[in-house]
Structure formats: C-alpha cells, structure tokens
Chain A
C-alpha cells in the first residue's frame, strides 16, 4: 500500500473507530459493570450479568433464536442456490435486468414489506379470503413460527443469492468445459467443479443470512405477534422497556460471540480463504 492510498483510508479508520469500535467497547463496559458507566468514580465491575445469562430462561431463548435462524438460513440456501445458478446462466444481455428485478423489492423499506406479509397472511388476509371464496375454511397463517420463517426467508433471500451469484459468475467457464471434455456428465461437473468453486459464495451467504436472522426483532414482533421471545426482542426489551442496559449489553455480547464462533466454524470450510464478505459484490 503506498502513501496516497493510506491517506484515503484514514476517514474510514476514523469512521470505524467512532461507529464500530467505540460502541462495542461501551457495550462491553456496560456488560461488566453495575448501573451507569458515565461516572468513573462509582464504576463497579461484576460478572453477574453474564451469570444471569446462563439462567435456563435465557438459554432457552437463545437456543430458540438459533434454531429459528438455522431453519431460515437452510431454507434461504435451498431456495437461493438454484436462483443464483439460474441467474448466472441467463444470457448476459438480460442478466442485469433479472438481477435488478430481484433486488428491486429491497429498495422498499423492510418494515413495509413485513407489514405487507401481515395483510397477506392475516385471518382476513388475501390467502384466507381466497380460501373462503372457494368455500374452504380459513386457516391460521399469521402469528406462528412459520410466519416468522416466511418473513425471514423473504427478507434475507437476496443476501444469500447475491454472493452465490457473484461466485458463480466469476467462475472460469473453461473449467466447466474442461470437465465436460474429460468425460464428466452434468451431475459430476456440478458436484466436482461448480459447487466447490461456489463454496466461498455459499459461506458468505450463510453468514449474511444467519447474522440478521438470529438477531432480528422486527419480524418476530410483527409476524410472530410476540408469542415467543427471541434474543433480538429480549435485547430490545432490556434496553427500551426494562432499562437494564447492563444485562442487555451482556446478552448482546453473548450474541456477538455466538455469531463469531459460528463464523469461524464456517470459515474452516472456506478452503480458498476467499469468501466471508471480502469480495462480495
């Protein structure tokens, strides 16, 4: 890196310090103290907040959130890989249009898109109205785990598709041709050449879906009707309702640890050390 480039990096370093490093340090400080951290004289260190987290009540909440995020991530992968593959195979003239159409819903606010699902799934929603029109009874679609998962898959699918698409489209097509020349059929070519080469994209996708899915609080609230507690909602409640910032910070730090650990496990599969967001879009 030459001098000039370094100079351009400074604003980002400052930005990163103020908006990423400092808040994490503050959250960490809150998590290991009692009450306020503003006044250095009265600061009191404790590990009780972490101890409290290992209460079966909160462990249960954490496990439930991880399960939900895992299911959403797997569904996103199952749906997202074929979509990315199909898009990457489209003639380059139309590919950008299709990609644009795919990203288009993301231009709209996530809250609005989630609210739209409420009117689709509600007791008097579009689906149930249609069922009633056919003379069928209404079914309860909203406010259960499936509606939360639908909301998550819908909202986070692009985060899965785009990295996989990038990995697939960057792939050297000559390798595929070489595989065919050597007598491999389509299935073998896919399993031995295409899939391993797209793995970095898959791993980035999994990380980028899993992270927001495990911590989301808006979707469980709107589509789940708060019928069960998830870790994102728990943190939100601890900060806004209970006002217990110390314990809330401890839960937030624990959640960051969970994400970090799962990321490092995933990165072991990333043989080429290529993925994990370094060259996404």
Chain B
C-alpha cells in the first residue's frame, strides 16, 4: 500500500511539472505542421521557433493516403501541411484547402513559374511548391550488368529475390501501367487488370514491398534493383557510389510536393510566415542538403553543388521530363485502385 502511495505522489508531481512546462508556453502560438518523414531539415524548425516566437508541433506521415485520413479524422487541426500533388488536388476539390494570401509570402517570387500553376492548382491560389522529383529505378551497378533504360529491369528474372517494390499503390501500379504504355491515371478497368496481372506475375521476383526501408536496404546492398523516388535515390547514391538511378524511357511519374493551409487551420498568419521562411533561398539550400529532392527555387538552383546538378535524379533532362506524367486525383475510381492493390498483395 505504501508503495502505491509513493507511486501516486510521484505520478502526480510528474504530471504537475508537465503542466508547469505547458503553462509557460501558453501565450505562444502553437503551429501544427504535418509533413512526410525525413522531409525537412529539423534545424529549420528550431530556428523558426526562435526567430518568430512560435511553438511548432511537428507530425509526420508515410504516404499521401495516410495524410488524407489523418487530416479528415480531425484529431488535430493542422495549420500547415506538406503533401503531394494528386492528394492536394483531392483536398482542394473537397473544399478542405484555404486560399493563400501571397502578399504575406514575398519569397514566392523566387518559385519557378513552371511550377506555379500546375494541374492540381491550375489558378495558383492554394499552394506553394516545396520540392519536386521523379519516380524511377535505383540499381546496384555491381549486380546489374550494362546500363538499363527500361521498366523491364523490375521484371527481369535474373534479379529474382533482389527486387524491391514500393508499398505505395499509385507508384507500384504506375510502374506497371507505364511499362504497358498506359497512362498513370487510367481508370480503364481492362488496362488496370493488365497492370494487376503484370504485378502478380512479378511477385515471385520481389524481395519485399517497402517504402521507408528502400534507401537503407539499397545502401546496405540487400537488394539489386528498387522502384524509388528520385530524392531517396540521390541520398542513397551519396552513401553508396555503386548505385545509379534512371527514369525509364517508357515514361514515368513526375510529381510536385507543395505546402498548403487547410480550412481547419487556426493560425493562418503564422503559417504563411512559415511558408515564407521555408521558401527563403538560404533555408531552401539548407533543406536541399537534407532531403536531396529537386528544388523549385529559381535562385537556389544556381547555388547547388555541381555533383548534384549533374545527377539525373536531382536534375533530370528535358528529354526525360517530356515523357513523364503527373498523378491526378482519381475521384471515385480510387476504390478500384485500392481493390486491385489489395488483390495483388493478397495473391
């Protein structure tokens, strides 16, 4: 009995001390930020907190689909979210995104015009682009012979048990659709059925379906070939010089991640200040050094190091980009994709 009283006292005093901490922060604005994992130099958050007297409550998520359910569940009212094109499009269509006041974001002038009015935000009213990149194949040059240029590498029996696919339905299905010469955004059931068969046929060759582990597994030489996003690939190439990345010639996905403020935000002013802070040139350069994705910043791109500028993962040629396609919101057809992806995994 005595012990439990002591425990209760300790618990009580601990909880009181936490209350003490939070009360000193009471007058500070708390900015709820939601972002992909490993997608910002955390030092920037500290710096913004210090210089703007704001407290940032930072949360992360793995895939755009997770972000969507997280926002829709309404457990936290996020003030600022960084996510991908097609999922932002879906939220804009559903009326969940606020228009931005670009006067509060003077650094917006440095954003490349090519990225300002894109398919997901055609009038450029809701978003500020953050990074962009491609979907391609990272391979180990010590295990793969020659210089592959096609999606076929992911279906090559030679590398059975050494192929990594992504546990992200749009990306993995996208690879199969592009190999077949179809659009990434197809809602045609027959085309999707073909893609499904192709991925089921590939399954015995696949080592694992992962997302966050791909980078480390490729660096560690656990696999020979992996479907991957460009920035992850550039980061992996920085750690293991035997790795190479290419965007298959049949075409692939190009994506833009952007910052937006949801309708439920409570601190729009501070959120816009934070967007401006992130689009500052020096801060963007700092961020590039951490996330390794391609930048949308007109001034920052001039100052990136040469090895990055020459890397096809960071700076793909126009020729490659011409053959790429952006993901679009699929509306109700999304259910079809879910079903097909479940069937592939359950097979």
Question: Do chains A and B interact in one complex?
Answer: yes
Listed in ascending order, the chain A residues whose CB lies under 8 Å from chain B are 57, 60-61, 122-124, 140, 142-143, 224-229, 233-234, 237, 239-244
Chain B residues numbered 255-279 whose CB sits less than 8 Å from any CB in chain A:
none
Is A60 a contact partner of B69 (Cβ separation < 8 A)?
A: no
Is A234 a contact partner of B342 (Cβ separation < 8 A)?
A: yes
The docked-state distance in angstroms from the alpha carbon of A85 to that of B68 is 51
- Minimum distance in angstroms from A27 CB to a CB of chain B: 15
Is B343 a contact partner of A243 (Cβ separation < 8 A)?
A: no
Contact with A along B38-78 (1 / 0, CB 8 A): 00000000000000000000000001011011001000000
- Kindly list chain A residues whose C-beta atoms are within 8 Å of the C-beta of B69: 239-241, 243
User: Which of these, B72, B161, B222, B223, contacts A243 with CB under 8 Å?
Assistant: B72
Closest A residue, CB atoms, query B70: A240
Is B203 a contact partner of A124 (Cβ separation < 8 A)?
A: no
Is B65 a contact partner of A227 (Cβ separation < 8 A)?
A: no
User: Which of these, A123, A140, A228, A240, contacts B65 with CB under 8 Å?
Assistant: A240
Is the C-beta of B346 less than 8 angstroms from some C-beta in chain A? yes
- Kindly list chain B residues whose C-beta atoms are within 8 Å of the C-beta of A239: 69
Is B345 a contact partner of A124 (Cβ separation < 8 A)?
A: no
Is the C-beta of B191 less than 8 angstroms from some C-beta in chain A? no
The docked-state distance in angstroms from the alpha carbon of A229 to that of B203 is 13
Closest A residue, CB atoms, query B210: A225
Is the C-beta of B111 less than 8 angstroms from some C-beta in chain A? no
Closest B residue, CB atoms, query A125: B222
- Kindly list chain A residues whose C-beta atoms are within 8 Å of the C-beta of B221: 123-124
Closest A residue, CB atoms, query B211: A226
The docked-state distance in angstroms from the alpha carbon of A57 to that of B339 is 10
- 13 pairs from A and B in contact (CB 8 Å cutoff): A122-B220, A122-B222, A124-B221, A142-B208, A226-B208, A227-B345, A228-B346, A229-B345, A239-B69, A241-B69, A242-B338, A243-B69, A244-B338
- Kindly list chain A residues whose C-beta atoms are within 8 Å of the C-beta of B72: 243
User: Which of these, A225, A229, A244, contacts B207 with CB under 8 Å?
Assistant: A225
- Minimum distance in angstroms from A276 CB to a CB of chain B: 27
- Kindly list chain A residues whose C-beta atoms are within 8 Å of the C-beta of B233: none
Closest B residue, CB atoms, query A61: B346
Is A227 a contact partner of B203 (Cβ separation < 8 A)?
A: yes
Is the C-beta of B167 less than 8 angstroms from some C-beta in chain A? yes
User: Which of these, A57, A122, A241, contacts B66 with CB under 8 Å?
Assistant: A241
- Minimum distance in angstroms from A85 CB to a CB of chain B: 33
The docked-state distance in angstroms from the alpha carbon of A70 to that of B169 is 30
User: Which of these, B208, B342, B346, contacts A225 with CB under 8 Å?
Assistant: B208
Main secondary structure of the interface of A (DSSP, over half): loop
Is A143 a contact partner of B345 (Cβ separation < 8 A)?
A: no
Closest B residue, CB atoms, query A223: B208
Known: A140-B161, A226-B209, A240-B65. Is A57-B346 also a contact (CB below 8 A)?
yes
Closest A residue, CB atoms, query B204: A227
User: Which of these, B63, B206, B223, contacts A227 with CB under 8 Å?
Assistant: B206
- Kindly list chain A residues whose C-beta atoms are within 8 Å of the C-beta of B206: 227
- Kindly list chain A residues whose C-beta atoms are within 8 Å of the C-beta of B338: 241-242, 244
- Minimum distance in angstroms from B9 CB to a CB of chain A: 17
- Kindly list chain B residues whose C-beta atoms are within 8 Å of the C-beta of A226: 167, 208-210, 345
Chain B residues numbered 287-334 whose CB sits less than 8 Å from any CB in chain A:
none
The docked-state distance in angstroms from the alpha carbon of A152 to that of B343 is 25
Contact with A along B102-128 (1 / 0, CB 8 A): 000000000000000000000000000
- Kindly list chain B residues whose C-beta atoms are within 8 Å of the C-beta of A122: 220, 222
- Kindly list chain B residues whose C-beta atoms are within 8 Å of the C-beta of A241: 63, 65-66, 69, 169, 338
The docked-state distance in angstroms from the alpha carbon of A61 to that of B346 is 6
- Kindly list chain A residues whose C-beta atoms are within 8 Å of the C-beta of B63: 241
Known: A124-B220, A239-B69, A243-B72. Is A227-B209 also a contact (CB below 8 A)?
yes
The docked-state distance in angstroms from the alpha carbon of A69 to that of B346 is 17
Chain B residues numbered 201-221 whose CB sits less than 8 Å from any CB in chain A:
203, 206-210, 220-221
- Minimum distance in angstroms from B202 CB to a CB of chain A: 11
The docked-state distance in angstroms from the alpha carbon of A57 to that of B206 is 21
Seed contacts A241-B65, A241-B338; 17 additional CB < 8 Å A-B pairs? A57-B343, A57-B346, A61-B346, A124-B220, A225-B210, A226-B209, A227-B209, A228-B346, A228-B347, A233-B345, A234-B342, A237-B342, A239-B69, A240-B65, A242-B338, A243-B69, A243-B72
Is A123 a contact partner of B342 (Cβ separation < 8 A)?
A: no
The docked-state distance in angstroms from the alpha carbon of A234 to that of B203 is 18
Known: A225-B207, A225-B209, A226-B167. Is A243-B346 also a contact (CB below 8 A)?
no
Closest A residue, CB atoms, query B72: A243
The docked-state distance in angstroms from the alpha carbon of A123 to that of B218 is 11
The docked-state distance in angstroms from the alpha carbon of A140 to that of B206 is 12
- Minimum distance in angstroms from A65 CB to a CB of chain B: 11
- Kindly list chain A residues whose C-beta atoms are within 8 Å of the C-beta of B207: 143, 225
**Max count, chain A CB within 10 A of own CB: residue among B169, B206, B221, B345:** B345
- Minimum distance in angstroms from B75 CB to a CB of chain A: 13
- Minimum distance in angstroms from A107 CB to a CB of chain B: 18
The docked-state distance in angstroms from the alpha carbon of A124 to that of B345 is 26
Known: A57-B342, A241-B63. Is A123-B210 also a contact (CB below 8 A)?
no
The docked-state distance in angstroms from the alpha carbon of A239 to that of B70 is 10
- Kindly list chain B residues whose C-beta atoms are within 8 Å of the C-beta of A124: 220-222
- Kindly list chain A residues whose C-beta atoms are within 8 Å of the C-beta of B220: 122, 124
Is A240 a contact partner of B167 (Cβ separation < 8 A)?
A: no
